[in-house]
Amino acid sequence: MTPSPPKGMTPLARREARLAWGLLAPTLISVAAVVVLPLLAVFWISFKPIGLADLRPPQVLIRESLRDRDGALTVEYRLRNSSQDVEIRNVVLTDTLPEGVRVAGALPGPCHLNDAGLICSFDSVPGGFRDRLRFAVEADDPEHAEELVELSEPQIRGTAPNVLTNLTFTTENFRKVFDGGQFLNVLGVTLFYTIFGTVGALVVGLMAALLLNKSFKGQGILRGLYLFPYVAPIIAVAFSWLILFDPFSGSANALLIQMGVTEEAINFFGEKPLALIMVTVFEIWRYFPLSFLFILARMQSIDSEMYEAADMDGASPFQKFWYLSLPQLLGILSVLFLLRFIWTFNKFDDIFLLTGGNAGTRTLTVDVYEQAFAISNIGAGAAVAVVIFLCLLLFSVFFFRVMSREEGL
């Protein structure tokens, strides 16, 4: 008989697992609340025909006033359906009449009085409904009647369909997203931006790392300096670039014109292909420090004896780079590539601040914002968000393949 492992957990193991879950719980709950729930919400909303204004379900708005028309006191309720086209059902208005104020004339049709006060019911209030309910009252103290009457706020209830929570769904949003050349265009721009931005940042970062991979005085300062673009607030650097490259009063143009590179000012962030190139260059500029940092860290962890062995083996500097450094860096480079790829794909602020998605720089993330907020079509925005999310899932699969090979980044 071959021995078999015992089933179940030992008491010590159970205690440890319980502690672990306890420690994880706050994080899990908060992350779920702010990441998982919103994600689900995005999926939900993407199937909803919903604009920003639809978030507030239609309701009946009411205003009460007491008019003194030539000595005759009249209470007036003005009712209004906040929506022009949605019907509100079972509308009931209730209000209490204050002490010393009595109904004097006939009540309007839907209303009646009981102990508590006035009740008016409507079966249904159609879209665009507006009405005034008036009735005469008499008061003991007409001077202060107005204050008294308006002190008691009228209450109104009614049920209206809420697009956000009801069960009407539509694929309209997705149809809109995929319709027309727009989507392919946006996708193309996104891919250009992502691929060149990522590769560029890696290559530039690699060069910077090669530059600083030796110890000399001031190396720390230079390293710190080269990290500035990444560490500074995005909004500050984005605006600096805009001002630097302003077509009319930017220093870059002035410099180029002065050096005779160009005759006319170039509208760096305003012209069709150039703007996309510029935002990509900005992306490279802003994120090369990160690749630089990682590559440098990896380089410094390469056993220096290996290079000494190569010295003994007679390898030249370029041979050392090509045959030794580069293969050793491949792992970190591929991990960086994938991570940066995903992050660049997700990038929003940079383009939003630089061009607002114009001049052919509208990426998927900018599209989310444009759809949801500029056009106030939340549903369409959510649909784009879903598309993004699905793309990312795809990348993540790749990512974990590579990651498991290059564990312990």
Partner 1 sequence: MGGISLRGVEKWYGDVQVIKGIDLEIADGELVVFVGPSGCGKSTLLRMIGGLEDISRGALEIDGVDMTSEPPSKRGLAMVFQSYALYPHMSVAENMGFSLKTAGVPAIEIEKQVVEAAEILHLTEYLHRRPKDLSGGQRQRVAIGRSIVRDPTAFLFDEPLSNLDAALRVGMRLEIARLHQKLDATMIYVTHDQVEAMTLADRIVVLDYGQIAQVGTPKELYEQPQTRFVAEFIGSPKMNILPCSVTGGQYHLRWGRGGKTTGHDGATHLGVRPEHITVVSSGGGQCDGRVSVVEYLGADCFLYVDAGRLGQITVRTSGDSPISAGAQISLKFDAAKLSFFGADGNAV
Partner 2 sequence: ETIQFWTTEEQPERLEKQQQMAADFAEASGVEVEVIPVTESDLGTRTTAAFAAGDLPDVIYHPLQYALPWAEAGILDTEAATEAVDALGRDTFAPGVLEMADFDGDVASIPVDGWTQMIVYRKDLFEEKGLEPPTSYDNVRAALEALHNPPEMYGFVAATKVDENFMSQVLEHVFLANGVSPVGPDGFQTLDEAKTIEVLEFYKSIADASPEGDLYWDQSRTLYFSGDAAMIIWSPFILDELAGLRDSAPPTINDDPTSSELASKTGIVTNFSGPSNPDGAAWADVRFFGITADAETDAAMEFVKFSMDEGYGQTLSIAPEGKFPVRKGNADNPTAFTELWATLPVGVDRKAPLGDLYAQEMIDEIVGGLDVAQRWGVQEGQLALASKMINSQAINRIVRQYIDGEIDAGAAVAAMNDELSAIE
Partner 3 sequence: MKLFYWGWLTGAILGALWMLTVATTIAVVMSFATGEAFRPQLWYCTLWGLVFGRPYDRPRSLLINVPLFAAVMGYFSNYQIGSLAFDADIFSPSAILSILTLSLAFLGGMRIIYGDLPSGPLTRHEFEDAVIRFLTGFGYIFFTAIVAIPFYVMVMTSLKNQQQLVANPLDFSLDLSQGWGLFRSYVELFRDFNFGTYLLNSLIISVLTVVITLAFSIPGAYAVARLRFKGQALFSRSILLIYMVPIIVLALPIYIAFSMTGLRNTFVGILLIYPVTTIPVALYMLQGYFRGLPYEVEEAGLMDGLSRLAVIWKITLPLALPALASVSLYVFMIAWNEFLLAFMLLDDPSKFTLTRGISSLNSSEIPRQHLMAGSVVATVPIMALFLGLERFMTKGLTAGSVKG
Residues binding partner 1 (CB under 8 A): 3, 5-6, 10-13, 15, 303, 305-306, 308-316, 319, 323-324, 327-328, 330
Helical spans, DSSP H, in 245-377: 251-258, 272-301, 304-312, 317-319, 326-346, 349-354, 364-369
Q: Is the dihedral of CA 348, 202, 193, 289 positive or negative?
A: positive
Asked if 399 interacts with partner 3 (CB under 8 A), we say: yes
Pick the stretch among 53-61, 137-145, 221-229, 281-289 that binds partner 2 (CB under 8 A). Answer: 53-61
Asked if 166 interacts with partner 3 (CB under 8 A), we say: no
User: With CB cut-offs between 5 and 8 Å by kind, which of partner 2, partner 3, partner 1, none does residue 270 bind?
Assistant: partner 2
CA dihedral 6, 11, 16, 19 (to 10 degrees): 140
CA-CA distance, 112 to 96, in Å (whole number)? 12
Burial class (CB in 10 A: 0-12, 13-18, 19+), 77: buried
CB-nearer residue toward partner 2: 142 or 270: 270
CA-CA distance, 395 to 338, in Å (whole number)? 8
204 neighbors 211 (Cβ within 8 angstroms): no
322 neighbors 234 (Cβ within 8 angstroms): no
127: number of Cβ within 10 Å: 14
Find the binder of partner 2 among 324, 376, 389, 395 (CB under 8 A): 376
CA dihedral 380, 385, 388, 392 (to 10 degrees): -160
CB-nearer residue toward partner 2: 81 or 363: 81
Asked if 358 interacts with partner 3 (CB under 8 A), we say: no
Find the binder of partner 3 among 200, 325, 347, 377 (CB under 8 A): 347
Asked if 400 interacts with partner 3 (CB under 8 A), we say: yes
Q: Count residues near partner 2 (CB under 8 A).
A: 34
Tokens representing residue 51 in the block:
């604009």
Among the listed residues 109, 134, 136, 132, the one whose alpha carbon sits nearest the alpha carbon of residue 122:
109
Find the binder of partner 2 among 84, 124, 251, 316 (CB under 8 A): 84
229 neighbors 291 (Cβ within 8 angstroms): no
CA-CA distance, 368 to 289, in Å (whole number)? 28
CB-nearer residue toward partner 1: 53 or 330: 330
Instruction: Give least dist CB 148 to partner 3, A.
Output: 31
User: With CB cut-offs between 5 and 8 Å by kind, which of partner 2, partner 3, partner 1, none does residue 328 bind?
Assistant: partner 1
Query: Which 173-192 positions form the footprint of partner 3 (CB under 8 A)?
Result: none
User: With CB cut-offs between 5 and 8 Å by kind, which of partner 2, partner 3, partner 1, none does residue 11 bind?
Assistant: partner 1
Instruction: Give least dist CB 13 to partner 1, A.
Output: 5
Query: Which 253-272 positions form the footprint of partner 2 (CB under 8 A)?
Result: 263-265, 267, 269-272
CA-CA distance, 208 to 292, in Å (whole number)? 6
Asked if 83 interacts with partner 2 (CB under 8 A), we say: yes
Buried b (16+ CB within 10 A) or exposed e, 360-372: bbbbbbbbbbbbb
Instruction: Give least dist CB 371 to partner 2, A.
Output: 12
Query: Which 309-328 positions form the footprint of partner 3 (CB under 8 A)?
Result: 316-318
Query: Which 20-59 positions form the footprint of partner 3 (CB under 8 A)?
Result: 20-21, 23-24, 26-28, 30-31, 33-35, 37-39, 41-42, 45, 55-56
Write each residue from 131 to 170 as x if it is in contact with partner 2 (CB under 8 A), else as -, in one continuous string. Answer: ----------------------------------------
User: With CB cut-offs between 5 and 8 Å by kind, which of partner 1, partner 3, partner 2, none does residue 313 bind?
Assistant: partner 1
CA-CA distance, 136 to 262, in Å (whole number)? 81
Tokens representing residue 18 in the block:
């319980």
User: With CB cut-offs between 5 and 8 Å by kind, which of partner 3, partner 1, partner 2, none does residue 220 bind?
Assistant: partner 3
Residue 367: which residues within 8 A CB-CB, separation 6 or more?
Answer: 186, 357, 381, 384
- Name the site residues for partner 2 (rule: CB under 8 A): 52-53, 55-56, 58, 61, 63, 78, 80-84, 130, 247-249, 263-265, 267, 269-272, 275, 356-359, 373-376
